A = this chain, B = another copy of it.
Amino acid sequence: MKESNHEPMGLSIEPKQFTLSELAAALGEQFEGNPDLLISGVAGIKEAGRGQISFLSNGRYLHFLERTEASALVVAAGVDTKGIPAIRSENPYLSFLMIVRLFSQPLRHRYPAGVHQTAVIGEGTVFGEGCHIGANTYIGEQARIGKNVVLTPGVVLLDRVVIGDNCILFPNVVVREACRLAERVIIHSGSVIGSDGYGYAHDGKVHHKIPQIGIVVIEDDVEIGANVAIDRAATGITRIGRGCKIDNLVHIAHNVEIDEYCLIVGQVGISGSTHIGPNCVIGGQAGLAGHIVIGEGVKIGAQSGVTKSIPSNVCVSGYPARPHDQSMRQSAMLSKLPELMKRVKDLEEKLAECANAPNDEKRGSK
A83 within 8 A of B: no
At the interface, is chain A mostly helix, strand, loop or mixed?
A: loop
Q: Do B267 and A284 have beta carbons less than 8 Å apart?
A: no
**Assembly CA distance A223 to B320 (angstroms):** 30
Q: Determine if B153 and A156 form an interchain contact, defined as CB atoms under 8 angstroms apart.
A: yes
Q: Is there a chain B Cβ closer than 8 Å to A335's Cβ?
A: yes
A225 touches B229 (CB 8 A): yes
What's the nearest-Cβ distance from chain B to residue A126, in Å? 11
A221 to chain B, nearest CB (A): 8
Q: Contact residue range for chain A?
A: 35 or more
A205 interfacial contact with B, CB 8 Å? yes
| Given A9-B236, A351-B351; 10 other pairs, CB 8 A cutoff | A1-B146, A3-B180, A3-B182, A43-B214, A47-B214, A174-B190, A188-B196, A198-B265, A319-B319, A340-B344
Interface residues of A (CB under 8 A from B): 1, 3-4, 9-13, 42-44, 46-48, 54, 94, 97, 100-101, 103-104, 110, 116, 118, 120, 128, 134-136, 138, 144, 146, 152-154, 156, 158-160, 162-165, 170-172, 174, 176-178, 180, 182-183, 186, 188-192, 195-196, 198, 200-201, 205-207, 209-211, 213-215, 217, 221, 223, 225-229, 231, 233-237, 243, 245, 247-249, 251, 253, 255, 261, 263, 265-267, 269, 271, 284-285, 287, 289, 302-303, 305, 318-320, 329-331, 333-338, 340-341, 343-344, 347-348, 350-351, 354-355, 358, 361-362
**What would 24 A/B residue contacts be, using CB atoms closer than 8 Å?**
A1-B165, A10-B233, A43-B235, A43-B236, A103-B213, A152-B158, A172-B174, A172-B190, A188-B192, A190-B190, A195-B226, A196-B223, A196-B225, A198-B247, A198-B248, A207-B261, A225-B229, A231-B248, A269-B284, A287-B303, A320-B331, A334-B334, A344-B344, A347-B347
